[in-house]
Structure 1
Amino acid sequence: MPDSPRAATAPRLPSLTGLRFAAALLVFGVHAYSFIPVGGFAHDLGHLLLDPGDLGVSFFFVLSGFVLTWAARGDGPAPGRGLGRFFAGRFLRIYPAYLVALALAVASKWVGDLIDPVGNRMNQVNGHNLTTSVFLVQAWFPDDVTYLGINPVAWSLSCEIAFYAAFPLLYPLLRHLAGRALAVAAIGLVALGLLMPLIAHLWVDPDYQRWFVYILPVTRGVEFALGIALALLVRSGAWRGPGLPVATGLFVANYLAVNLLPHQVRDTAAVLATTALLIPAAATADLTGARSVWRHPALVRLGDASYAFFLVHLTIITTVMTYLGRSHDYPAWQAVPLGLGFLVVSYAVAMPLHRYVEAPAMRLLRRRRRPAAIPAPRAPQPDRVGVG
């Protein structure tokens, strides 16, 4: 996903960049597991370790709200720049790399048609899918042929575009809450996220419940708003939560237990509470200088390229698997090297995309941004409470 804490002014939060790599790896894992058929023990292990990887998207949505808030100052999202320059910056952050990846996905469909001309691939290129993909509005359509069109992962960017449009409204609203009220708001947003499947069950047509809970930008905006509230708590010194080792352990335990939950809850909200602990814990570790494995330079470098990696990995997986075929199970000794090969190739494509397209656009964005110092978190006041 696009937002990166390295885009913000000092103090930097490199642990969040390292965690971006981990979240992208989770998403990659579920797609590799979904497209490489395996059986027996390998299938069961993949179900435990890889199948919940789509919940990495929830992590990205919370992180997006957090890092945009971390970079914002004053009453608006872009003090001294205005909304026009704010949205221009968001355009530079998303679109250059996205359009290159979209062109790659279109080319992959052409290759797939040559390999398998009678294949029933849902995400075919047509005028409707191309239009909704170019303008990143596919998530607003309830049919999976549209919201998974051409490059299926791009539905999440359709949500991000909606989040950016809402940020100038959400940020001032939450910023003016006091510490206690802000903590209550954060807890309420977690609860609302957990209640979304029930809301869908009660008031949404069964044919559209999956779209409402998992795809619809309005629904997923709860996670984005939660990220805003968490960043404000950390920035004000009002955050109260476990340290990074405990928060990481809670998240891992939660992740491994996801498939034991009812599928209605499992789809989006299953790790929301522990994500709400992990992101502030990582940020606080950076601010206080506490030990954090996520600050390792290799993880930060991989995290820097995670957006480009996210954009291209599924295109690579589906193109190769169209050639290899999915009509039979692959033994573990074939499936594991194949998955690792997809990982290496995806980053081999993502690194140049990041270096020559995404990074130059970000340098242009930074030249357009007026430097602003971010003060260290204030000591908590007696009337302030946090989450946790």
Structure 2
Amino acid sequence: MVPEPTAGRLPSLTGMRWAAALLVFGLHAYSFLDLAVPHHRQVAKFLCDGGDLGVSFFFVLSGFVLAWSARPGDPARRFWRRRFARIYPSHLVALLFALGCLLVTDRLAQVSTERLLTGALLVQAWSRDPHTYLGINPVTWSLSCEATFYLCFPALYALLRRAGTERLRLAAVALVALVWLFPVLASVVAPGSEHWMVYVWPLTRLAEFVLGIVLALLVRAGAWRGPGLALATAGYVASYLTAAWLPAEFRDTSGTIVAVALLIPAGAMADLRGTRSFWRHPYLVRLGEVSFAFYLVHYMTIDTADVLLGRERAWPTPQAVAVAGALLLLSCVLAALLHRYVELPGVRLLSGSRRPAP
């Protein structure tokens, strides 16, 4: 048996969070900074176009970490209060930051009451309209999904923790298969809205979150059987790169789901056993701790710079790399400020805990 989930933290998983956030940043930087050289543009597309898969990693990781850190006998209301404290203050400040970016770039008139309210309340992902679910700070559609996951977690965890090892293993296989099946179903039941149903709709993304819960329960029970961390990391890199050849709706969710389901438990097992883990490096762990704040601010940082520098311009590759690096650094600075002065105080004040929520 491995230690109880309250026995310690899993720093390798925190380090992995930074890598996933960096994938999303790479996608958005590539999307805005149009390279002038066609060959370089193709290389950038190959390396960055799958950055959407970072969100899939976050969803599975979210289920895993919440199940791993679940407190016996913890009332649902207390759990929801901690999640609210962890997410909402930073979300609101990031929303104000996004409004400020729109004001600076003379686009505030685009903000409708619907977009403002659905975004502020984190219900935007339930709308099929891209103008609504992308809203004001586009990346927060995923927080709309997370809010749904948090509402469901107490009941899901209570149900799954009673399941035996074999049922958990069957559930893991079934959930992976379901993620692969959703794009097929979407083409039949939601023609014209396939992207929304597969990538944005909270109910379809719930499968990845539940998969994370199942994986955590298997690890906790000492029943996990999978590759070591080095092999699992290599497998993820390979699946990320090969996902570029999949149809879009498969690429954005299914492309790495098997690799994610192997990588996250491998990282947890490395921490539990004390074996070597690149992901446990102090710099990566520190960056992982601010990855949520980084995720919240990076898109509008890139978008604002793109407007101010000239949205239609084609960039020489060296200049584009330099600008992307500067935007990465600026996003990190803003994230560090948001994490220190909003996220951590919010957790302490609203949840009554001195330790950051997972």
Q: TM-score range by the shorter chain?
A: over 0.9
DSSP 3-state at the match of 1:130: helix
Residue 43 of structure 2: aligned partner:
45
Residue 264 of structure 1: aligned partner:
249
Cα distance between partner residues in 1 of 2:88 and 2:53: 24
Q: Of residues 316, 339, 349 in structure 2, which corresponds to 1:331?
A: 316
1:191-227 residue CA offsets vs partner (Å, 9 max, x unmatched)? 10011001111222x2211100000000000000000
DSSP 3-state at the match of 1:242: coil
Cα distance between partner residues in 1 of 2:347 and 2:233: 30
TM-score, reference length from structure 2: 0.95
Tell me if the contact between 2:194 and 2:249 (Cα under 8 Å) persists in the aligned partners: no
Q: Of residues 190, 214, 225 in structure 2, which corresponds to 1:240?
A: 225
Residue 134 of structure 1: aligned partner:
120
Q: Of residues 152, 172, 175 in structure 1, which corresponds to 2:158?
A: 172
Counterpart AA for 2:104: V
1:145-224 superposed matches below 5 A: 145-204=131-190, 206-224=191-209
Counterpart AA for 1:286: D
Tell me if the contact between 1:37 and 1:326 (Cα under 8 Å) persists in the aligned partners: no
Cα offset, 1:180, TM superposition: 0.9
Cα offset, 1:369, TM superposition: 8.7
Tell me if the contact between 2:85 and 2:351 (Cα under 8 Å) persists in the aligned partners: no
Counterpart AA for 1:99: L
Cα distance between partner residues in 2 of 1:211 and 1:264: 10
Cα offset, 1:359, TM superposition: 1.3
Cα distance between partner residues in 2 of 1:104 and 1:350: 12
DSSP 3-state at the match of 2:193: helix
Cα distance between partner residues in 2 of 1:278 and 1:184: 18
1:306-346 residue CA offsets vs partner (Å, 9 max, x unmatched)? 00000000011001110111212101011000000110000
Residue 8 of structure 2: aligned partner:
11
1:27-42 superposed matches below 5 A: 27-38=24-35, 39-42=37-40
Tell me if the contact between 1:52 and 1:259 (Cα under 8 Å) persists in the aligned partners: yes
Tell me if the contact between 2:347 and 2:354 (Cα under 8 Å) persists in the aligned partners: no
Tell me if the contact between 2:347 and 2:353 (Cα under 8 Å) persists in the aligned partners: no
Cα distance between partner residues in 1 of 2:63 and 2:354: 19
Cα distance between partner residues in 2 of 1:33 and 1:172: 42
Cα offset, 1:364, TM superposition: 4.1
Cα distance between partner residues in 2 of 1:179 and 1:83: 25
Q: Of residues 91, 101, 105 in structure 2, which corresponds to 1:108?
A: 101
Structure 1 spans left out of the alignment, 5+ residues:
1-7, 371-388
Residue 375 of structure 1: aligned partner:
none
Cα distance between partner residues in 2 of 1:358 and 1:281: 29
Counterpart AA for 2:333: A
Tell me if the contact between 2:6 and 2:71 (Cα under 8 Å) persists in the aligned partners: no
Cα distance between partner residues in 2 of 1:260 and 1:330: 26
Cα distance between partner residues in 1 of 2:317 and 2:156: 47
Cα distance between partner residues in 2 of 1:366 and 1:263: 40
Counterpart AA for 2:149: F
Cα distance between partner residues in 2 of 1:366 and 1:168: 17
Tell me if the contact between 2:13 and 2:267 (Cα under 8 Å) persists in the aligned partners: yes
Tell me if the contact between 2:60 and 2:210 (Cα under 8 Å) persists in the aligned partners: yes
DSSP 3-state at the match of 1:299: helix
TM-score, reference length from structure 1: 0.87
Cα offset, 1:356, TM superposition: 1.1
Cα offset, 1:228, TM superposition: 0.3
Deviates more, 1:85-94 or 1:58-67: 85-94
Residue 272 of structure 2: aligned partner:
287
Give the count of matched residue pairs.
Answer: 350
Deviates more, 1:270-279 or 1:259-268: 259-268
Cα offset, 1:368, TM superposition: 4.2
Deviates more, 1:179-188 or 1:36-45: 36-45
Tell me if the contact between 1:29 and 1:50 (Cα under 8 Å) persists in the aligned partners: yes
Q: 1:136 to 1:345 in 2, by over 3 A?
A: same
1:19-98 superposed matches below 5 A: 19-38=16-35, 39-74=37-72, 79=73, 81-98=74-91
Cα offset, 1:169, TM superposition: 1.5
Cα distance between partner residues in 2 of 1:51 and 1:125: 28
DSSP 3-state at the match of 1:113: coil
Provide the alpha-carbon RMSD of the alignment.
1.6
Cα offset, 1:259, TM superposition: 1.1
Tell me if the contact between 2:348 and 2:354 (Cα under 8 Å) persists in the aligned partners: no
Q: 1:240 to 1:84 in 2, by over 3 A?
A: same
Cα offset, 1:365, TM superposition: 6.1
Residue 278 of structure 1: aligned partner:
263
Structure with bigger helix share is 2
